[in-house]
A and B are shown apart, each in its own frame.
Chain A
Amino acid sequence: MNARRLDLVFAFLVAATGVTWVVGESGSAGPAAVALILGLAFAKGWLVIREFMVLRRASLLWNLIVGGWLTLVLAIIALTYWKAL
């Protein structure tokens, strides 16, 4: 495994967390802010799955299952948020 690649992934993950924190602290609410943080959560989750859990070395089926979990969970969260607006 390429160490530099892992470092870059980690840097992105921390930066994305920082953005989420700023959104939270600024008290931002509404569909745009939520779309941003859920989008970031998806990006972070997908990177952890692909790079840290190394699913990019696994079969398509495994990627569909674990990636599908992330997508489904975030989709349910987004849907219930939208319904409650």
Chain B
Amino acid sequence: MQYKSQAVAKPYFIGALALFVAQILFGLVMGLQYVVGDFLFPHIPFNVARMVHTNALIVWLLMGFMGAAYYLVPEESETELFSPKLAIALFWIFLVAAGLTVVGYLTVPYATLAKMTGNDLLPTMGREFLEQPLLTKMGIVVVALAFLFNITMTVLKGRKTAINTVLLLGLWGLAVMFLFSFYNPDNVVKDKFYWWWVVHLWVEGVWELILGAILAFVLIKITGVDREVIEKWLYVIITLTLVTGIIGTGHHYYWIGTPEYWQVWGGIFSALEPIPFFALTLFAFNMVNRRRREHPNKAATLWALGTGVMSFLGAGVWGFLHTLAPVNYYTHGTQITAAHGHMAFYGAYVMVVLTIISYAMPLLRGRAANSNKAQVAEMWSFWLMTISITFITLFLTAAGILQVWLQRVSDNPMPFMVAQDQVALFYWMREWTGVVFLVGLVVYLWSFFVKGEEKAA
């Protein structure tokens, strides 16, 4: 750690990992509810478990991004953070708000929660991923703006590099796109149209910039390759991302009542969205191959390479599978989507946050890298989680193909719930693989406490 104020990243990383655990636990609950419908009913109904699972994911990734920004911006800008106190205060506000929101989800019915939090004043709730009460949404905006202020001021007073510029662009984009969560037109077509501006332009747009910047930072540190080379690749990747990703939004506009030309625009551009991810894979391997030093943190290198591969597979390949309109006509909203969602979120965003945590946490704890023993444990967790998410994806893909066949393609299409019964075997396999994922996560957390001989920072 080169700057004292980088230390504020630590609580963010810890908070993120705590929410990660919550996300996985609720994922297991709802995974079981797929096959044992009344499990924990009426205390945790399926819709609530799902909401906590997805919202916890988004919040912990945001927390991870913030931690990453607090860690890398001072180092890139070669100056202390503008206000470390503000960063710490924001952390607690964010954590308490997230906690209260989850408590709200779990303790009162969603409709009551909506009434209590003034949803009739400005209706924004009830939409997938944007279920948060108005107060929480406003809280997110306040925290995000204060965070951006802090980070931007730091960059402005210090060195401007491609990495912190791209990171800022991504973070500002993230905040601006979130504003569309407050726009909820009565016309359901328009509602969905702008809803995707948050959801799609986050994960297939600005988040990719954040991903690229974080990965570039870690690669510079662990490989020692010239900044110039790494930054050049970063520029190519983000340009490709924006060219394909922005218009690629059209692949959500096939069947929602928007004009027909979206089938062509959305199809072509979203079909090209794997390209930036492929470039990312090449980039990660290329940089590690031409490394000029052997960094003691092997685990961080593994996470970085893993991000390159798994984001391409999950976001690129599994996205491409069902992005073309004639295919999507059959697969829309089936388990194929769930399969893609799981591997894409894990491969791109979970892994990049774990990459920066893996790199930064030892330094924040005063050593260049963890002990060999701890790194071995961490690498075990890498393989456990990565292999189990791969199998979860494969099982869900199998479930999805079967579902599409039974429910939509065959001569005697089955009703939804009947088809669900037919794919139950795959849901059971997914659930047990999910347990393996949880074991991997536990090993990961345990690796933070493994002692052994450490190298000084």
Report if A and B touch in the complex (beta carbons < 8 A). Answer: no
Residues of A within 8 A of B (CB): none
Residues of B within 8 A of A (CB): none
